[in-house]
Amino acid sequence: MFQNSATTVLPLSVLLLAGCAGSGVGLDANGQPISGQPQPLVPDLQSIQEQVFTPICTTCHAGAAAPLGFRLDASSSFAMLVSTTSVEVPSLLRVSPGHPDDSYLIQKLEGHAAVGAQMPLNGPYLSQAKIDVIRQWITEGAQPVALASGASPATRIQAIAPLENETLAAPPRELLVAANDELDVSLLGAGTVTLMRSGGDGSFDDGNDIIVQNPEIAVRSLTPTVLAIRLRDNEWVADTYQLRIAGRGPVVMTDRAGQAIDGAGTGAPGSNFVLTFTVESAP
């Protein structure tokens, strides 16, 4: 049913903070001595998230009202940035691993992008020193935050865009979902992923659902896995849609160890992931 198209991306992982050594007295959540001084910005995503994206960028780039649907909250930023095409300049990636000059994020932060204003909008702008740290993160491959070994009992799936039950005025450019570990992407063509629409009544499993044929699935990142699912513009109609990734049934999506996904976020394997959204109008 699905056509798979993979893009080579450096591994993705999701942060879970390591426990403190010993009694933990005098140590922060990362096991580092508490000094009372601000931590320096360093070229890793966790540091950039905590010191730039969350306190500065999410003033605008968060939630359903984020400009162009571009969100930079901690759970979305990697999938939204790395190897993802810019909406404003589709010839560029927002972050092109290893290539800061070709990354639209850097062009926007430095104020020489071909479209729109310098970011953060209306300032104050980041210092060049801070931008250089973000440049270094990109130069070094735009690595994700590190996944703690054995931290999660089951691989979870999260909707990045659109959000659950979001109503879209126009068709989305893509559906973006992310796992918190590596999926067995060889199963993508085995019926584990289904996109359907309600048939006009806004409800599902009542006999008139319509399966959307042959969407394209791109593996945007592998570890953890980020999937981008696209339709051509003329394939969208105004309706309510559901994206389903099977975690139970005869054929299921599994992680690299062969364990079924935790699609419902229960903490245990063996549940479906379901994303419901509505498109109000289509070309």
Structural domain boundaries of the chain? 45-139, 153-279
Which among 194, 225, 224 has a CA at the least distance from the CA of 211?
A: 194
State how far the Cα of 84 lies from the Cα of 226, in Å rounded to an integer.
Answer: 10
Q: Are 220 and 207 in contact (CB under 8 A)?
A: no
Residue in 272, 278, 275 with CA at minimum distance from that of residue 201: 278
Residue 262 has pLDDT above 80, yes or no: yes
Encoded amino acid at 19, one letter = G
Q: What is the mean pLDDT of residues 67-82?
A: 95
Interatomic CA distance for residues 53 and 120, integer angstroms:
10
Arithmetic mean of pLDDT, 130-143: 97
Residue 283: pLDDT band (50, 70, 90) is confident
Q: Tell me: the pLDDT tens digits for 17-57?
A: 233 234 444 455 555 555 556 789 999 999 999 999 999 99
- Please list the residues that pair with 82 across neighbouring strands: 95
Q: What does the pLDDT read at residue 11?
A: 39
Q: Which CATH number applies to 153-279?
A: 2.60.40.3710
- Asked if 53 and 77 count as a contact pair (C-beta separation under 8 A), the reply is yes
CA 278 to chain centre: 20
Mean pLDDT across the chain: 88
Q: Return d(Cα 225, Cα 12) in angstroms, integer.
A: 7
Cα 70 from chain centre? 10
Helix (H, G, I), strand (E, B) or coil at 153: coil
pLDDT tens track for 191-229: 899 999 999 999 999 999 999 999 999 999 998 899 999
